[in-house]
Structure 1
Amino acid sequence: MSLRPFSRSLVRPGRRAVLGGLAGIGVLAGGGILLRDRFDQAEKEQHAQPDGVFRKLKLACPHPSHDPVLAMALRDGFLDRYNLDITVLDGADTGRQALDQLRTGAADVAIAPALSWLPQLLGGLEAKLICGLQSGSSRLLVDRRSRFKRIEDLYRHAIALPDAAGGPDAGADRLFFSIVMRRKGMNPNKDVTWISVAPERFGEVLASGQVQAVGGHDPVIWEAQQSLHLAELASSMTGSYSARVVRVLGARDDLLARDPRAAVSLVLAFQEAARVVASHLAETASVMADQIPDMPQDSILKMLQAEKHDVHPVGQELREQIAQYVDELKLIGLVDENQDSGSISKRFCATILRG
């Protein structure tokens, strides 16, 4: 399926994600493994046992030290528990770059925003999404003294992002804010100007009037907000977006074909780490502080507390949320509105843990 340019026509609003609990225990069916994992916080979770096979895998992830679930999984032995030896690759600053490492075979699995995954999957990336890790942390910020109070106020103004590429190469932050703008009746490709600016220059370009807003995702945008005393105009942490998964774990098709149980171990390990992050923010902040030495631990903790960490869907819940993203890409012309979002989502998600 090819990507097409922005269309002026509005399409129907995105579907509501069905956010339900997952129930059951692991079962074997046919030649594959179909696991159902109950995430009832009132009871102790019962997981399928790993098969005991030791696996070495390579993982691509943009700025891995910034990912709380990955940081906890590596630090507290969740991967070891499932006999996984994960090498985290260097060299990816964006989700698109991490997925390039997956495409070339340099990586077996990757973590990237859903809005980075979908254009690549639509463009032929041979991989499947297997597990959601956490919800979003994108923020669009303005000077507190400015007249900008709503995202619509940015009409005919400029926005700075660390990665402001457009079209099918657009970064996840730009795509997210473009979707928000489109829902407000704006054309994000014509009604605002996007400028790539390094985060350390955000204060300079705001003060000079070169841009009127800056955007990005935590922890970089959190640090900008705190140090420059900026006001939040829009974010992925409010309203219905707060219940949406953003960072997603995916695996190459060839890995899933030759070793399907590897995906089971990966999902169980990362789901366990995600739940620990959600219930132990102070411990997570301590782990991340060791990896982000320029950011004080108390600031990391406040950042984590401002985010939402109990969103890590699998199975049907993940498919529903990915289908909703496909609907939203229709709004900005990156998916043909006649395509069936549910079918696309089913094609791109592997049912490792079935809800």
Structure 2
Amino acid sequence: MSAQGPSSDPAFRRRLVLGSLAGLAVAGAVSAFERHAHQRPPRKQPDGQYRTLKLIWPHSDIAPVLAVAYQKGFFTRYSLEVETLSAAQNGNEALDALAAGKADYAVAPALTWLPRLYAGLPASLVLGIQPGTFRLLVRREAGITRLEQLVGRTVAMPDKNAADKFFFAIMMRRKGINAMGGITWVDMPAEQMVSSARDHTIDALVAHDPLAWHMLSDHADLFSELVSSNTGHYADRTSLILGVSQSALTADPDAATALTLALRDAAKWASKHPDDAATLVTGETSDLVAETTRAMLRNEPAINPVIGHVLRNQMAQYCDELQLIGQLPSTEAAASLAHRYTRNVLTD
């Protein structure tokens, strides 16, 4: 499938428009559109130079956009050879690797990126790849049916996965619930969560896919999903973000442009072909694993890449929400923070 947009040939546009509508009114509308398009800044294109890049992406083995980028030739289209480092188990570990210079590009949740950027991590956010997949699972026997019933309870979260905690703390804060202070949050390795729930040591857990999905599907007798990011306006907002170190962006801005375009185009392809993308992820794995992965991806929000002012506006929303729960200071406007932390590598 071509990643190029509609033909820019003027005769083609005239045939397309005049073939479906007629009259001077339509011609005037087309003229107005063309004047508006002419005034927009041109999209920056990469220089076509061959590059080898290092990208760190937690759970890269089940990332549909990354699988599409590799297997459908989007990296090749932009003259890229991308080495993906998958040792990181979560966003914070990915950003630790970025800070240590093990890679120049990293993918992590927005709620992980933003506090780290405020703390001084020298990087810029360039592409929102897809929405989040956060899930809050409650122990069935705990009798929890509403968010406010979590106050005073013990909720587990995977080691260092602060984004999971922040997402649900924000959701609860919107409902007047002080989750940061009113809930006992416990860092816990994933392998201990099931036994702790069976022992009634924890009442709930917060996590994101694939861990949350496997907990829910493999232990349906123990956990039920109370709320998630898969519905409502949360499902439309980007979460998984591509960022680039400031040193790499300064040294080779065209590389950032090429990688951003490759992953954006791959994300658009995955959005239009979700089942095919799921098949690319599962590859030659067992039928059981493949079906579980396909079911997980079908249950998640639609992939929708965002860039430029849309990305910046959504990061401003996140900054505002992080201020609500005390993870960013309120001394600076959220919009100013978002402007500082994002970069449109297609126009800048």
Compute the TM-score of the two structures, normalised by the length of structure 2. 0.83
- Per-residue displacement from partner, 1:13-72 (whole Å, max 9, x unpaired)? xxxxxxxxxxx989997xxxx527xxxxxxxxxxx5x42200111111222113221122
Rounded Cα–Cα distance in structure 2 between residues aligned with 1:228 and 1:307: 19
Task: Give the helix-richer structure, 1 or 2.
Answer: 2
Q: TM-score, normalised by structure 1?
A: 0.81
Percent of aligned positions that are identical: 38
**Which deviations, in whole Å up to 9, do the C-alpha atoms of 1:237-288 show, x marking residues without a partner?**
1221111111000111122222221122111100111011112222222222
Contact 1:138 1:173 in 2 (8 A): yes
Contact 1:289 1:295 in 2 (8 A): no
One-letter identity of the residue aligned with 2:65:
V
Match of 2:31 in 1: none
Q: What do the CA deviations read for 1:325-344 (whole angstroms, capped 9, x no partner)?
A: 00001111122223111111
Within 1, Cα distance between the matches of 2:328 and 2:310?
21
Aligned CA-pair RMSD: 2.4
Contact 2:128 2:306 in 1 (8 A): yes
For residues 293 and 340 of structure 1, do their structure 2 counterparts lie closer, same or farther at Cα, with a shift above 3 Å needed?
A: farther
Contact 1:26 1:35 in 2 (8 A): no
Match of 2:129 among 120, 127, 133: 133
CA contact (8 A) 2:151 2:179 kept: no
Question: Are 1:195 and 2:203 matched, yes or no?
Answer: no
Structure 2 residue runs without a partner (length 5+) = 1-35
Seen in structure 2, the aligned counterparts of structure 1 residues 291 and 347 have a Cα distance that, compared at 3 Å, is farther
Contact 1:136–1:242 (CA under 8 A) maintained in structure 2? yes
Structure 1 unaligned blocks of 5 or more: 1-23, 37-47
1:156 aligns with 2:144: no
**Matched residues, number:** 311
Compared with structure 1, are the counterparts of its residues 249 and 292 closer, same or farther at alpha carbon in structure 2 (3 Å cutoff)?
Answer: farther
Q: Higher Cα Rg: structure 1 or 2?
A: 2
Deviation of the 1:118 alpha carbon: 0.5
Shift of 1:295: 5.8
Q: Which amino acid aligns with 1:141?
A: L
Given that residues 275 and 294 in structure 2 are in contact (C-alpha distance below 8 angstroms), is that contact kept between their aligned partners in structure 1? yes
Matched with 2:274 is 281
Using the alignment, how far apart are the partners of 2:49 and 2:110 within structure 1?
Answer: 30
Aligned equivalent of 2:63, options 35, 60, 67: 67
**What is residue 249 of structure 1 aligned with on the other side?**
242
Per the TM alignment, residue 77 of structure 1 is displaced from its structure 2 partner at its CA by 1.6
1:186-243 alpha-carbon deviations (Å, 9 max, x no partner): 2223211112233333332222110111221111110110111132112111221111
